[in-house]
Amino acid sequence: MVSASVPGGESSAGPGRFTALQIALIVALVLPWLNPFALRPAPAVVQSLLSVLGLACLLLLPLRRGGLATLAGVLAWAWLLSALLSSALGLLQYFGLSGAWSPWVNSTPAGEAFANLRQRNHFASLVNIGLMSLLWLASHRPPNTDSPEQVGRPALPLRWLGPLFAAVLLGAGNAASSSRTGLLQLCLALALWLLFWRSSTRTEVRKLLLAAALSYLGAACLLPLLAGLGFGETGILSRLQDTQLMCQSRLIMWRNVMHLIGLQPWFGWGWGELDYAHFITLYPGARFCDILDNAHNLPLHLAVELGLPAALLLCGAALLLIVRAKPWAEQHSTRQLAWGVLGVIALHSLLEYPLWYGPFQLAAGLSLLLLWLSRAAASNSADHLLAGPYSSSSGWRLRSALALGLVAGAAYAAIDYARVLQFYLPASARIRLFSEPSLSSAHRSWLFGHWIDFAQATSTPVDAGNATRMQELNEAILHLSPEPRVIERIIRSAALLQRFDVAWFYLQRYQAAFPAEYADWQKRDKQP
């Protein structure tokens, strides 16, 4: 196991031994990453609620002098355990063994791995966050106290076998994800720890990082063969060779997004309106052939939804803060951990949208907290805060009230979502408490009422009597999810109302956005 005592002038109150409360907190922070349940219509809700509960537990963590090292240790262990357990689950999935563990492990076909995170890039990002945590924990191990006859041996001592196994497992998990983003993040870790932070990195830590990299290379070559899938036909090697410009490629997506930015450059299309903007726009060239609810690039997403001025202001401010902080020249190990985690999430955010998910939001926020506390520690203001206002009786009452508020809010959201969820379940599967849900009462939902509107809009047959109401409702739902069944109802209601210009407007966009579904719909309509 990786114990911790803090070298290099940092607080010596490292996370070598944890209290029962700290262990419970680690478990609470691990749960959002391992949650196997994704309940539609909003699959990320359960994961987000668990993240809120993890934050509530964190507020109860007692931190006094030297509490920065304790907090960093709790976070590092939580991230590392999440990554190790997810890597094990990912390997089960890769070899086609996940079905036996259902529903606690998401089922996937052989050759595919994403643990319980439902996306390969999310899984790879967690693995690389775990690698950053492993390197931090390893850098805080006590100096070598082996007997004189053991000193000077070239191999890692036996006490490093645990960390070495963890590095190998993380490398294999990253390779199993087949994520190109994960490969870039591993390269980022190599650059940070072997080049920029080399002078402050112990030799053993560098060996662990190299072990993870070698494990990645070996697993990338061997896993497809061991799974009977054929070398180069699947996995990261296959994905690196795939250079075809398919309609779902990021390059086509980004071209479409930049076209949308050109149409609304100053104030954007509005927050959450990208999917609607993408649907109603007829592009001059190739079109991204799916619902587009995120630009898969944070600066581009800010620009298309908030406008270029707001995006330049926000991204420019973030870039200025990074340049002033000089993370590449960092020597403080806890700040290195924080910058490493933020680097993984930032790189992922240039290719997808991890910050739309609770565990990544929590990881980013806690990394920023580590940066602030570690900077304040240089002037002893952090210890003053932790030993004074934070740990005082009034501070405890305030933190307890905030934690209770978060738990109460999460409980309300869970009950509200459970009520809405019943509309998406067959009657036999509904919770008895909500066995006969009422649309009128469910519309009072503050958080998920739009999903009730969606259920009503997509399940009510359109006829001459309700055509006006159904057109209005489905046009509103189009901003939430512009999918074929919504579009078809808009066209049908417009035709019943003899609003043929409206029907033609949506007909053109339906054919452009979903050609296969449009063709099937045309065939169904022609049948007697």
pLDDT digits 0-9 by tens, 393-419: 676 788 888 989 999 999 999 988 888
pTM of the entire predicted model:
0.90
The dihedral of CA 517, 519, 523, 526: what is its sign?
Answer: positive
Q: What is the pLDDT of residue 233?
A: 67
Mean pLDDT of 139-145: 70
pLDDT of residue 125 exceeding 90, the answer is: yes
Q: pLDDT at position 236, please?
A: 80
- Per the model's pLDDT, the better-predicted residue between 256 and 242 turns out to be 256
CA distances in angstroms from 130 to 48, 71, 137, 340, listed in the order given: 20, 16, 10, 10
Specify the residue for token string 């997506």. 253
Q: Determine how many CB atoms are found less than 10 A away from the CB of residue 37.
A: 13
pLDDT band of 12, cuts 50, 70, 90: very low
Lowest-confidence region among 335-344, 371-380, 393-402 = 371-380
159 vs 210, higher pLDDT:
210
Q: What confidence score (pLDDT) does residue 245 get?
A: 60
* Residue 151 pLDDT > 50: no
**Looking at the predicted structure, is the pLDDT value of residue 378 above 90?**
no
Higher-confidence residue of 369 and 438: namely 369
Residue 67, pLDDT score: 72
CA 479 to chain centre: 23
Across the range 14-33, mean pLDDT stands at 83
Asked if the model's pLDDT at residue 322 lies above 60, the reply is yes
| Contact status, residue 304 vs residue 293, Cβ threshold 8 Å | no
pLDDT given at position 390: 55
User: pLDDT at residue 374 above 50?
Assistant: yes
Q: What is the pLDDT of residue 6?
A: 39
Q: H-type helices in 227-357, by residue range?
A: 235-241, 250-263, 274-280, 298-306, 308-325, 333-349
DSSP 191: H
Predicted local confidence at residue 4, as pLDDT:
42
* Mean pLDDT, range 272-294, rounded to an integer: 93
Look up residue 457 and give its amino acid: A
SS3 content of the chain, % helix, strand, coil (to 5): 70, 0, 30
Q: What is the mean pLDDT of residues 71-76?
A: 92
Q: d(Cα 366, Cα 234) in Å, to the nearest integer?
A: 36
Distance CA 44, CA 444 (A): 22
Phi-psi region of 326 (alpha: psi -120 to 50; beta: other; left: phi over 0): left
Average of pLDDT values for 294-313? 97
What pLDDT score was predicted for residue 13?
40
Distance CA 409, CA 10 (A): 37
% of the chain surpassing 90 pLDDT: 55
| Mean of all residue pLDDT scores within the chain | 85
Averaged pLDDT for residues 31-38: 94
Please compute the mean of the pLDDT values over residues 28-41 and round it to a whole number: 92
The string of DSSP letters for 17-59 reads S--HHHHHHHHHHHHHHH-----TTSTTHHHHHHHHHHHHHHH
Has residue 145 got a pLDDT over 90?
Answer: no
Q: How confident is the model at residue 42 (pLDDT cuts 50, 70, 90)?
A: confident
pLDDT at position 311: 97
Which of the listed ranges 139-143, 238-242, 387-391, 446-450 does the model predict with the highest average pLDDT?
446-450
pLDDT computed for residue 7 by the predictor: 36
User: What secondary structure letter does DSSP report for 352?
Assistant: S
